[in-house]
Amino acid sequence: MSIVCIVPATAAYDFRDENIWVYQGSFEIGVGERADVGDHVIKVHTIDMDETPASATLLVYRNKVYMGSFFVDPLANNEYVYDEVLLIKVLDIKDEKVFLEIYKQEYERVWITDIEKTKLVSGEELTSGDYTIKIIGFSEDGAAVAISKDGTVVQDIYNTGFYKKYNDEFMVKAIYLNLERGEVFVETYRLGVPNIELSMTTEQDIYDPNIPIEYDVVVKNSGTVP
């Protein structure tokens, strides 16, 4: 058996990675109990049920080394981000238990360049499929940009580096804004989509019993995500 993989050359596309929070699990833990997420451990140090709302102190360990503590409750202090790696969401504290969800930050290659850097001035439009980008004007706050699709128009103020996703399928980013000259350079991006094709071939169509079958498997990805 042999397996051949055919994927698009990575140089054919300009990718943009996106940092996302990936769900790791839900936990119910009491004092002294722990939630393990890879090389990280979240442990309940104290729970105060006399307060309103109830609160708790959680400890963070990494590779069995104590890294710090933080205060949580189910209301204003219900989220804590540790070292830009872990996100702890406290859902509730009751019955001497802390109910929480843990997320881990990962980078996902999802966006590819749709329209490369293009200069636009007031009144100009740029079209990409069903989306139209129009520069409404400029002010000291930035460039007023209208994004329209199927009759729906969303307007935002763009400054250098600002980007926004629309319908989780289209993204517009201001690469550079020059207020003095009244121009903005924008790029657009689309979600990358894999397109997997699987085929298998053999040397012959008919085999006798107890004869090993030699075959080749070809996996082809003609999509925009390798």
Q: List, in sequence order, every beta strand (DSSP E) within 7-96.
A: 15-29, 34-37, 40-48, 55-62, 65-72, 79-82, 86-94
Q: What is the pLDDT of residues 164-182, one digit of tens each?
A: 889 888 999 999 999 999 9
Q: What's the CATH class of domain 15-107?
A: mainly beta
Q: Can you read off the two tokens belonging to residue 219?
A: 């996996």
Question: Is residue 192 within 8 Å of 223, Cβ to Cβ?
Answer: yes
pTM: 0.49
Q: Where in the chain is the domain with CATH 2.60.98.40?
A: 15-107
Strand, helix or coil at 10? Answer: helix
Give the per-residue pLDDT at 12. 44
Summarize pLDDT for 49-81 with one digit per residue, the tens.
998 999 999 999 999 999 999 999 999 999 999
Distance CA 174, CA 161 (A): 5
For residue 147, the surrounding DSSP H or E stretch is strand 142-149
Is 178:147 a contact under the CB 8 Å cutoff?
Answer: no
